[in-house]
Structure 1
Amino acid sequence: MQAATARRYGGPEVMAIETVARPEPGPGQLLIRVAAFGVTRGDARIRAVDVPRGMGLMVRAVFGLTRPRRPIPGREFAGEVAAVGEGRAGWSLGMPVMGITDGMTLGAGAEFCVVSAAGMVRPIPPGLDVTHAAGCLFGLIAAADFLIDQMALQKGERLLVNGGSGAVGAAAVWLGVHLGARVTATASAANHEFLCSLGAAATNDYRDGLPQGPFDAILDVPGTLPYARARPLLTPEGRLGLMTADLLPQLGAAIRPRRGGHRLSCGIVKEKPEALDRALSYLEAGYRPKITILPLSEIVEAHRLASSGHKRGNVVVTLEDAG
């Protein structure tokens, strides 16, 4: 099968296309024929070990100390069931499915991947095309985990999404509006119309400084608004979600989440089947991410976009040109 691969750590140029052996499903697993897969900022960070300070050694311990242990990247996918492992009923060959690969196994960036049938995989809802199915879950699951589970965003509150134009930020803007919050979002001026289309009540160009508060909740997606900068913008009982934080601030937030009346949240997004089901409910409610679609032959460009920090919405790679 054809697969996108990264045999060493580095920039987008380390991405290649190779012919590799097709995986086979074991007991309780599904073999997915991948039609499209997402390329996220997280994928780009793993490829380059471009991670917050203090996290590099941990990332290498998981994914490979000197070179990638799992050379096929990618976690978000959409396609169809190609084979069903022993002991798994309820799945039929050819069933359209979408999901996220198990744990840190990666592997979605190929013509076929294997996932647990009891894990993060579901039938594609009616009316959702395969490219949107492949590029929507990461952002929605992460945004909901922070805004709902960690920050308990309430109707009528003022929310600031710092970095609102990427996969997670755009999902957070839409979700904040969906939950009844008044949302302000930061991004470059070129993305302000896009943010308004998601329902943002106000926009701010990050190059012009910080927006005027106060805010009941702030979600910092790119890691440019630590507590010291965010504190003047928060209400006396405001909450700050640090999605991309250095190791020491993460440890500090875990040990002492309360700072006066403020509460800090950070850490790994919880990926579990119920989080996937919640994301699907938002798709049924009308969320559709902005998608940039590229063929597998342009995998280097896909990773360049994901690494840029200025992409609008999500990047999805299709497998139509593979083979």
Structure 2
Amino acid sequence: MKAATARRYGASDILRVEDLPRPEPGPGEILIRIRAASVTTADWRLRAAAFPGGLALIGRLVAGLWKPRHLVPGSDVAGEVVALGAGVDGFAVGQRVVAVLGHGGHAEYGLATAKGAVAPIPEGMGFDEAAALPFGGLTALEFLRDVAKLRAGQEVLILGASGGVGAYAVQIAAALGARVTAVAGPGREVFLRGLGAERVLDYRRDEIAGRFDLIFDTVGAMSWPESRRLLGEQGLFLPLNFGLRELGHLLWAKLSGGPRMALHVSGDSRAGLESLLALWREGRLRPVIDSRFALEDIAEAHLLVETRHRAGAVVLEIGA
């Protein structure tokens, strides 16, 4: 099978497309013929060992000290079930599914854990749309619904609102009934209003003003001290990415009283995927795709993701 590989850490040009053996499903596993896969912020950080501030050593201990622990990158995929391992039920060969693999997704075939984050793709949704959902959608859902416990009528500020997570955060916050102020680059107003933002600010030009119940920073644009002037007394600052600085700020927030801060690392689950797909069926969430690339052009896809100036997901189209 064709697969993208990262045999060492480095710039996007270290990625290669190679012929590798097709994996076979073990007990409790599903083999998926992958038709589309996302290239996410996590993918380029793992490829480049570009871990958030102060966490480089911890990141390498987890991802591989001298080279990536997993040869084939990629996590979020959509495709067809082609084989079932022993003990798997609830899935059938030929079924269309969306899944979070953890690794090995930028290839023609990949293995999913049947009890993990894998769910049937609903009728009317394409493979590319399905693959565009998990990273941004699951992250936004967990941070907003489960961590922030966002409620109808609350004021939320979303920084990096047009990015891979932000484009879903705007939609999910609006679906939860919040009033959304979205901050992004120039030329994004029509796009973000179409996703549900009530107010759109250009970070290069506009000053952020107002009082918010929640600030969700998806790109590391704001610090805890900066957030305090914008948060209500019980407001919450929720950064997606964090390093040692944010750990110090978290302690400061707990000791100082007033507006709060929380740090969280999101996970992946079938229940989360099913929640996203339910929102799609209700017309309250749509997959957002910035660009599509062939597997052979994966280096260019990584370069685009690294710019952090995209509108939604970057998708690899793998096979017909």
**Offset at 1:107?**
0.7
Q: What's the counterpart of residue 157 of structure 2?
A: 160
Aligned to 2:177: 180
Residue 294 of structure 2 is matched in structure 1 by: 295
> How far off its partner does 1:251 sit?
5.9
Rounded Cα–Cα distance in structure 2 between residues aligned with 1:310 and 1:28: 39
Q: Answer whether contact 2:4 2:17 (CA < 8 A) is retained.
A: yes
Change in 2 beyond 3 A, CA 1:254/1:75: farther
The question of 1:25 aligning with 2:22 is answered no
In the alignment, residue 286 of structure 2 is paired with which amino acid? R
Could you tell me how far apart the structure 1 residues matched to 2:13 and 2:255 are? Answer: 43
1:74 aligns with 74
Is contact 1:52–1:246 with CA below 8 Å preserved after alignment? yes
Q: CA deviation at 1:255?
A: 8.8
Q: Aligned partners of 2:242, 2:125: CA distance in 1, in Å?
A: 33
Q: Is the 8 A contact 2:40 2:314 kept in 1?
A: yes
Equivalent pair of 1:151/1:240 in contact (CA under 8 Å): no
**In structure 2, what is the equivalent of residue 54 of structure 1?**
54
Whole-Å separation in 2 of the counterparts to 1:238 and 1:156: 14
- The percent of aligned pairs where both chains have the same amino acid is 39
Q: TM-score w.r.t. structure 2 length?
A: 0.95
Q: Is the 8 A contact 1:167 1:289 kept in 2?
A: no
- Counterpart of 1:67, as a letter, is K
The one-letter code sitting in structure 2 at the alignment partner of 1:145 is: E
Give secondary structure in 1 for the equivalent of 2:119: strand
CA RMSD in angstroms comes to: 1.6
Structure-1 separation of matches of 2:88 and 2:176: 37
Structure 2 portions without partners, runs of 5+ = none
In the TM superposition, residue 17 of structure 1 has moved relative to its aligned partner by 0.5
Given that residues 258 and 264 in structure 1 are in contact (C-alpha distance below 8 angstroms), is that contact kept between their aligned partners in structure 2? no
Match of 2:218? 221
Q: In the TM superposition, what is the alpha-carbon distance from 1:182 to its structure 2 partner?
A: 1.0
Paired positions, count: 318
Aligned-residue offset at 1:252: 4.8
Question: For residue 111 of structure 1, what is the amino acid of its counterpart?
Answer: E
SS of corresponding position for 2:187? helix
CA 1:215–1:87 in 2, change beyond 3 Å: closer, same or farther? same
Q: Map of 1:100-179 to 2, 5 A cutoff?
A: 100-101=100-101, 105-179=102-176
> CA 1:254–1:228 in structure 2 vs 1: closer, same or farther (change >3 Å)?
closer
**Is this contact kept in 1: 2:55–2:243, CA < 8 A?**
yes
Deviation string, structure 1 residues 58-101 (Cα, Å, up to 9, x no partner): 12111111111212111100000011001112221111111101
Work out the CA distance in 2 between the residues paired with 1:230 and 1:219: 10
Residues 236-273 of structure 1: CA distance to partner in whole angstroms, max 9, x if unpaired?
11111111121341365379647422121112113233
| TM-score, L = length of structure 1 | 0.94
Partner of 1:312: 311
Distance 1:44 1:186 in 2: 23
- Mapped partners of 1:30, 1:258: distance in 2: 48
1:200 correspondence with 2:197: yes
